[in-house]
Chain A
Amino acid sequence: MKLIRLRYTKWFNILKDGLHRNNPIVVAVLGICSALAVTNRVDNAIAMGLGVTFVVMASSAVVSLIRNYIPSKMRMVTYMVIISAFVIAVQLFLEAFFYDISQALGAYVGLIITNCIVMGRAEAFAAKNPVRYTLVDGFASGMGYTLILLIVAVIRETLATGTILGYQVLPASWPNWVVMSMAPGGFFVLGLLIWGIREWSKLYEEN
């Protein structure tokens, strides 16, 4: 009974929207650059996904806190400054504790700033809602993004080297599909994945 009532609360709907119905990558096709560039290995994808989740949550919360004091003409610049502060924090954190991953991701960590998901959530949700909802919304969007990143990375790493997170999953005789770890492989996997999910969920695009 309690579970049924949960389905109608605002909390649950925000969470579901971010993960499924409004998934930033599959449905809205946002934040593609990093989704393709860092998914050649699973550990890179996890680091990127968590980094984006943190930045979305933190920047949405701050935007929502000061939303009544931001003049509407200056709001984009304000968002940019807030977001870049958190991105620099993520960059320094990775450099200090996960040096190898920060080297592998390189410039792509800095490019979280221009990831449309972060700006999109600040503009579309955080500017109108109280802090407690923006945290859930940020978490859901971030996790929806991480989920797709993980799926793409698992497919690409398995086919490219026969491993997941460095553990051998396919027999050693597996001929490595090197193209999967390069850009074209990323494009193909994401294209086919979006096709599959759209057929399965019947969320078609009018064109």
Chain B
Amino acid sequence: MNLIELFLSSILNQNIALVFILGMCPLIAISTNVKNAKGMGLAVILVVTVTAVINWPIYQLLLATGTEKIALLVFIITIAAVVQLLEIFMEKYIPSMYNAFGIFLPLITVNCVVLAVSLFFVNREYTFGETFSFSVGSGIGWALAIILVAGLREKMAKISDLPKGLRGKAIVFIVLGILALAFVGFTGIIR
């Protein structure tokens, strides 16, 4: 499959948040306003790409030594270490970016999108190039989803009068369902 097509499909019709339903906990918790959603989205794009690029060669090493069963454990440790290192690095060299990300960077360790991208390239046997374009696309797709939901929730909080039981998280699922329908609709454009 060509790389541009893979990149576009991982943003739209194979969107990791709306079609594969991953990273829901942070998506629901942090989508109450657009500003925070943008911060979280950018942090996810960065971490997903960096960890996938690091995990790919590590997985080839595990395959070569026949220890691929513990890949899960190794991935989790790499992700935790990468997040920690990014935090230290940014605090020292790019403090403006570090302040912009704030609390979101450490929170990413528990975001399942990051681990899922690493597990997907294993399951689908991607090459390095495919892994790269899939991980960037997935990061952007997740960011797009959280920003869309946050925008809708911000408007909804001001104008809509919901039944009591639907307030808060229940209505977010309905919104997500409608968005997901729209994203599934892109299937005709890209394979």
Name A residues whose Cβ lies closer than 8 Å to a Cβ of B: 29-33, 36-37, 77, 80-81, 84-85, 87-88, 91-92, 106-107, 110-111, 113-116, 119, 179, 182-188, 190-192, 194-196, 198-199, 204-207
Q: Is B115 an interface residue (CB 8 A)?
A: yes
Chain B residues with Cβ under 8 A from A113's Cβ?
A: 72, 76, 115
Chain A residues with Cβ under 8 A from B164's Cβ?
A: 198-199, 204
Q: Is B184 an interface residue (CB 8 A)?
A: yes
Residue-wise, chain B 79-106 has the 8 Å CB interface mask toward A (1 for contact) of 0100000000000000000000000000
Q: From residue B107, how far is it (CB to closest CB) to chain A in Å?
A: 12
Contact of A36 among B21, B73, B116, B172 (CB under 8 A): B21
CB pair A111–B73 under 8 Å, yes or no, is no
CB pair A195–B166 under 8 Å, yes or no, is yes
Q: List the 10 closest pairs (A to B, CB-CB), nearest first.
A: A191-B173, A187-B177, A205-B168, A198-B165, A107-B119, A114-B112, A32-B24, A199-B165, A184-B180, A188-B177
CB pair A88–B72 under 8 Å, yes or no, is yes
CB pair B19–A80 under 8 Å, yes or no, is no
If A87-B72, A183-B184, A204-B164 touch, whether A111 touches B25 (CB-CB below 8 Å) is no
CB pair A106–B184 under 8 Å, yes or no, is no
Q: Is the interface of A mostly helix, strand, loop or mixed?
A: helix
CB pair B119–A119 under 8 Å, yes or no, is no
CB pair A107–B73 under 8 Å, yes or no, is no
In the complex the two chains form, what is the Cα distance from A110 to B176 in whole Å?
24
If A184-B180, A205-B167 touch, whether A194 touches B173 (CB-CB below 8 Å) is yes
If A183-B20, A194-B170 touch, whether A91 touches B72 (CB-CB below 8 Å) is yes
CB pair B73–A32 under 8 Å, yes or no, is no
B81 nearest in chain A by CB position: A77
If A32-B24, A33-B25, A116-B110 touch, whether A188 touches B76 (CB-CB below 8 Å) is no
Contact of A191 among B25, B120, B167, B177 (CB under 8 A): B177
Interface centre among B72, B110, B120 (most CB of A within 10 A): B72
Chain B residues with Cβ under 8 A from A183's Cβ?
A: 18-21, 180, 184
In the complex the two chains form, what is the Cα distance from A192 to B164 in whole Å?
13
Contact of B178 among A87, A91, A114, A184 (CB under 8 A): A184
If A81-B73, A88-B73, A111-B119 touch, whether A191 touches B171 (CB-CB below 8 Å) is yes
In the complex the two chains form, what is the Cα distance from A37 to B176 in whole Å?
14
Q: Is B3 an interface residue (CB 8 A)?
A: no
CB pair B18–A85 under 8 Å, yes or no, is no
Chain A residues with Cβ under 8 A from B4's Cβ?
A: none
If A36-B21, A84-B72, A106-B123 touch, whether A111 touches B112 (CB-CB below 8 Å) is yes
In the complex the two chains form, what is the Cα distance from A112 to B181 in whole Å?
26
Q: Is B148 an interface residue (CB 8 A)?
A: no
A83 nearest in chain B by CB position: B76
Q: Is B169 an interface residue (CB 8 A)?
A: yes
